[in-house]
Amino acid sequence: MRVIIRSVLAVAVALASVVALALAWTAATAVQLAATALIMGGSDDPLAPPKNQPDYINPYLSNAVNIFINPAAAVPSGADGGPIQPADGDVYAVLYPAEFFPVFGSETFGASVREGRQNLNDCARGSVQCIYNDDPAIDFGPPVAPPVPGEDLVIFGFSQSAVVASLVKRDLIENPREGDGVTSMFLLANPMRPNGGILVLGPQGFTIPLLDIPFYGATPTNSCEVGDCIATIDVATQYDPLGGDSPSSLNMLAIINALVGAALNHGNTQYADFADAVYQGSYGDTDYYLLPAKRLPILTPFSLFVPSPILTALDAPLRAAIEGAYHRDINPGVPVGLTWTSLLPFHDPVRTIINILRAIPVGLDDAIAELTGDPDFRPFGTTPVTSPYGVGGPDLPPPPEDGVGLMATRGTSDDGFGDDDAAGDDDGLDDLKDDLKDDLKDEETGAVEDPDPVITETGLPKVRGPIEFESAVEEDDDPDGEESTTPVSGTQEPDPEPSDTESDADGDPAGE
């Protein structure tokens, strides 16, 4: 009888523990799901008339919330402070010029970014100066007032606005906003991605004359080391140099492929799906993802008149040659600029040439398998390559499985985002955009002041998901006598870049 009583009591305690855990998880989820979304458009898309009407703005906001932010918030994170928060509060279409003279509009890239940086800072800090689209035709119902200080926020930036968000992240690290609100970010096609961002390749602080394109340096990843964590997701499309995947050597094949990739894929990244992205690794407060290219951009135009198996046969050796221009064996969160190997067509010529030779039979087997419809029919006996980096490229790290971030998200299908065809108030938003330009141009170095440093020593960001290079050269056959498998971790990095917490060359939000 005593044993039975003990068993019953043990079961009761276990059930009570499960109930308590469920209640605690539900409460945590309820808190997690209260974040307000601050969403900005890419170049030439200010999310306001006359350029953008509700029939573009509504799907854009819906995709940002339901296709990118909320799915990313629901997966485990390998980063410090992760995962990002889901957006389940108000949704703001934050305005800025979104111009890029001479391609889009009359304002230069640098001027447009400066104004966007000021306005996003105002919105993130709960300032009444925050300018957003309040057109009643916006499906979810625009908020009636700017965000209030202390709100939980998730910031979404795409292309040019990913630069704006990256600089605001730098500002928030140096000068945190008031209150206890949590901030997180989703950066899509980020030109300031540390390893691959085109604005990281040049010397930080240098500005291309006439075009006013500053090299801002890398998006910071050390928020958890110096203060409150700003959990971040960074997603790039493979071979999109404008969106965080730029080659870094004088490899003309890679450069042409990247130019075609920018033309075909950069603008379309906003219509991609986070579910198609693969995990690349974590560094500091940021998880990195890649939207793989199933076929090289340089081959894509030929698909109109060349049979697919022929292009498949060419993809493998060409991909191996192109990948020689990238630093795939370095974590995406480690800043990588131009080095002496950038003067060469390949960063590691011996390894790349071997990979090209190995890729020829792989490409032939891929083509034959496609032609016959039998994936197992590979007469040259090669194994299909699963890495997006091709033959000899590093394997992707396994996705985090620590259980962090497995929060349920609500409303991933509609959440009130409908297809309302009501016309917006064009005149009102024209005035709104003009006000934005006038106010920010006339404003002196604005709402964000450079704070006195609080922390004098910056810790090294934590690295998870190291990438290991699966070399084609066996250790005993390495020409240099060195190991050919080099895991990348927090202790194996290129020369350190300037601290993210130091004031960048562009100064505070309005002082570039």
pLDDT in tens, 76-95: 999 999 899 999 889 999 99
Report, as an integer, the average pLDDT of 156-173.
Answer: 98
Angle (CA) 30-35-36 rounded to 5° is 145
Q: Which of 210-219, 292-301, 314-323, 416-425 has the lowest mean pLDDT?
A: 416-425
Helix (H) or strand (E) holding 14: helix 2-32
Higher model confidence: residue 62 or residue 486? 62
Supply the pLDDT for residue 375: 95
Supply the pLDDT for residue 496: 45
When the pLDDT of each residue in the chain is averaged and rounded to a whole number, the result is 80
CB atoms within 10 A of CB 321: 20
Write down the number of H helices and E strands in the chain: 11, 10
Supply the pLDDT for residue 315: 98
The residues that bridge with 287 in the sheet, in sequence order, are 233, 282
The two tokens of residue 81 are 């402070």
Higher model confidence: residue 210 or residue 144? 210
Residue 295 has pLDDT above 80, yes or no: yes
Q: How many CA atoms lie within 13 A of 493 on its CB side?
A: 20
Q: Place 267 in a pLDDT band, splitting at 50, 70 and 90.
A: very high
Residue ranges per structural domain of the chain: 36-295
- Alpha carbons 512 and 507: distance in angstroms, whole number: 5
- Specify the pTM: 0.77
Supply the pLDDT for residue 454: 35
The two tokens of residue 75 are 């997966």
Higher model confidence: residue 21 or residue 197? 197
Residue 222 has pLDDT above 70, yes or no: yes
- Alpha carbons 138 and 119: distance in angstroms, whole number: 20
Residue 156 has pLDDT above 80, yes or no: yes
Residue 162 has pLDDT above 80, yes or no: yes
Q: Place 343 in a pLDDT band, splitting at 50, 70 and 90.
A: confident
pLDDT in tens, 99-122: 999 999 999 999 999 999 999 999
Name the 3-class secondary structure at 340.
helix
Distances (CA, A) of 109 to 116, 119, 319, 353, 381: 10, 15, 32, 39, 51
Report, as an integer, the average pLDDT of 308-323.
Answer: 98
pLDDT in tens, 450-488: 333 333 333 444 444 443 433 333 344 443 443 333 333
Q: Place 213 in a pLDDT band, splitting at 50, 70 and 90.
A: very high
Look at residues 283, 287, 220 and name the one whose alpha carbon lies nearest to residue 501: 220
**Residue 455 per-residue DSSP state:** -
Supply the pLDDT for residue 200: 96
Q: Place 129 in a pLDDT band, splitting at 50, 70 and 90.
A: very high
Residue 152 has pLDDT above 60, yes or no: yes
pLDDT in tens, 350-393: 999 999 999 999 999 999 999 999 999 999 999 999 999 999 99
Return the C-alpha torsion angle 157, 161, 163, 165, nearest 10: -50
Higher model confidence: residue 506 or residue 111? 111
For 287, phi then psi, to 5°, come to -100, 135
Q: Place 503 in a pLDDT band, splitting at 50, 70 and 90.
A: very low
Higher model confidence: residue 511 or residue 268? 268
Residue 294 has pLDDT above 70, yes or no: yes
Supply the pLDDT for residue 402: 62
Q: Side chain identity at 37, as an amino acid letter?
A: A
The two tokens of residue 218 are 């890398």
Tell me what percent of the residues of the chain surpass a pLDDT of 70: 72
The two tokens of residue 18 are 């499960």
Query: Can you spell out the DSSP letters for 162-211?
Result: HHHHHHHHHHHHHSPPSSS--EEEEEES-TT-TTT-HHHHSPTT-EETTT
Name the 3-class secondary structure at 507.
coil
